[in-house]
Chains A and B, each alone.
Chain A
Amino acid sequence: MITLSASILAYLFFPGGMFAIIFGLLLLGMERIAVARFQGRIGPPIFQNLFDVIKLRTKEFLVPEDATNRLMFIIAPFFGFGGMMTAIFILPVSGVYDGAGASSDLVVLIYLMALPAVSHIFGGSSSGSTYAAIAVSREAILMFAYEITFVIVLFTVALQAGAGDGALFSLKGIVDYQVRNGSFVHDLKMIPAFVAFVIFMLATLEVPPFHIAENDGDVMKGYYMEYSGMPLAVFELTHALKLLVLITVLQIFFMPGLAGGSIVVNLLWYMMKSAAIVIGIALVHASMPSFRVDQAFKFLMIVPVFLALLSLGLVLFL
């Protein structure tokens, strides 16, 4: 009973739920500020994305008359949101929270990570908009390309953490292994996998150069085209959670080092690492132009897959 209520609290409030949403939105606001500073502007206040969500609450929700599937159009945003809420609940934060404790949560993560893209595809394709249709086809193409990288990196990390005894599919186990034996980011064998994972992260978050599916100058807002009001706010929250989930996964896989014994210190350390990663993302965001979809597909199929396979080979045979 105690574990159940602790799980509910974890899901709704502390590492997941409220904390994750607010922290994710703050990270998004920070990214916007960092991009603005890199471009020599002042940028919005850090709470900007929180204000955006509140604003969208006050707006009307319109369902287009020529939507091909009205029900799917309305419920599509919640797939991705639910997926990300679950993902942040099962992810451990080193030294703060142990995760949901399932023994093979790494495999669950593969499925959960695909859900935001799936909700974009469902929502966009049921909205009946031409822009959304183009964006959906692009998103699907990109998804095929980047999921391969993710699965290979995941196996590499699992094998390395297994230390010769086969793969270790428990996130908590991976964190514990690295706390005992040093973070993977210091390990030369894992550097290519780290770079591949960062590229996967940029592609999933659709920051430039991978913002092909929601590029303003090209397909307007892509799959968000027909959304307004509440469902658009849910998409915003999903995006914030997705950013936080990816950053947390990056920290679990490659840098879960502890800063000290106490929970507060480790939590602050986790937040500082997250902020540093977000600023790195913003630097890429501010300095890159956009790929065409065929260029992005080729790039994603060649560079990160090769890097991830290189790491996998090194881990397997060295």
Chain B
Amino acid sequence: MLSRYAVKSPWLFRINTGSCNGCDVELATTALIPRYDVERLGCKYTGSPKHADIVLVTGPITARSESYLIRMLDEIPEPRVVVAIGICPISGGVYRDSYSIRGPLDKFVEVDVNVSGCPIRPQSILDGVAQAIGIWKEKIKIFHKA
């Protein structure tokens, strides 16, 4: 019962793991401009990982950001959904096989949704968030049974 209403309030949290900022700009505009207003879905960007429900990870996980990423993911309370934004966290993209890259993201955490593109299009972000909400609903049910 709770999960039906709970999924109407997904709070988003962005983690930038050494991204070129292209995807981050797309994420910011998706939420903020009138055309692709994600607040319609009840979404809101939060500043704290402890408030997050849907985690959006951008960037190819550089050696420097690896430990911060792991710590940040640990701080996010269950049930949560991890979304890989852009090609970089999915496969490494143009940075693949670089000496300074520790990715892809699924080495560190179970990724629920992959949203590919370089940079991603706003429509595909909305689609990814909508898919993440569906997965999140199932996760809430499982979390409360256990």
Give the interface of A toward B (CB within 8 A). Answer: 32, 36, 39-45, 47-48, 50-52, 54-55, 57-62, 216, 219-221, 224-229, 232
Given A221-B48, A226-B48, A41:B9 Cβ within 8 A: no
- From residue 19 to 43 of chain B, which have CB atoms closer than 8 A to chain A? 34, 37, 39-40, 42
The size bracket of the interface on B is 20 to 34
Bound CA span A232–B77, Å: 12
B3 CB, nearest partner CB in chain A, Å: 7
B103 CB, nearest partner CB in chain A, Å: 26
The one of A39, A54, A221 in contact with B9, judged by C-beta atoms closer than 8 angstroms, is: A54
Tell me the nearest residue of chain B to A219, going by C-beta: B47
Q: Is B46 an interface residue (CB 8 A)?
A: yes
A194 CB, nearest partner CB in chain B, Å: 32
- Chain A contacts for B48, CB-based, 8 A: 220-221, 224-226
- Chain A contacts for B97, CB-based, 8 A: none
The one of B3, B11, B34, B51 in contact with A58, judged by C-beta atoms closer than 8 angstroms, is: B3
Tell me the nearest residue of chain B to A47, going by C-beta: B8
Q: Are B6 and A40 in contact (CB under 8 A)?
A: no
Tell me the nearest residue of chain B to A60, going by C-beta: B77
Chain A contact residues: over half helix, strand or loop, or mixed?
A: loop
B117 CB, nearest partner CB in chain A, Å: 24
Tell me the nearest residue of chain A to B41, going by C-beta: A44
Given A40-B34, A41-B39, A221-B46, A51:B6 Cβ within 8 A: yes
Q: Is B64 an interface residue (CB 8 A)?
A: no
Tell me the nearest residue of chain A to B33, going by C-beta: A41
Q: Are A225 and B40 in contact (CB under 8 A)?
A: no
Bound CA span A221–B48, Å: 6
Q: Is B78 an interface residue (CB 8 A)?
A: yes
The proximity string for B residues 47-71 relative to A, scoring 1 for CB distances below 8 Å and 0 otherwise, is: 1101101000000000000000000
Q: Are A51 and B39 in contact (CB under 8 A)?
A: no
Tell me the nearest residue of chain B to A53, going by C-beta: B9
Q: Is B143 an interface residue (CB 8 A)?
A: yes
Bound CA span A51–B5, Å: 6
Q: Are B2 and A227 in contact (CB under 8 A)?
A: no
Q: Are B77 and A62 in contact (CB under 8 A)?
A: yes
- Chain A contacts for B3, CB-based, 8 A: 58
B105 CB, nearest partner CB in chain A, Å: 22
Q: Is B122 an interface residue (CB 8 A)?
A: no
- Chain B contacts for A219, CB-based, 8 A: 47
Bound CA span A57–B4, Å: 13
Tell me the nearest residue of chain B to A226, going by C-beta: B50
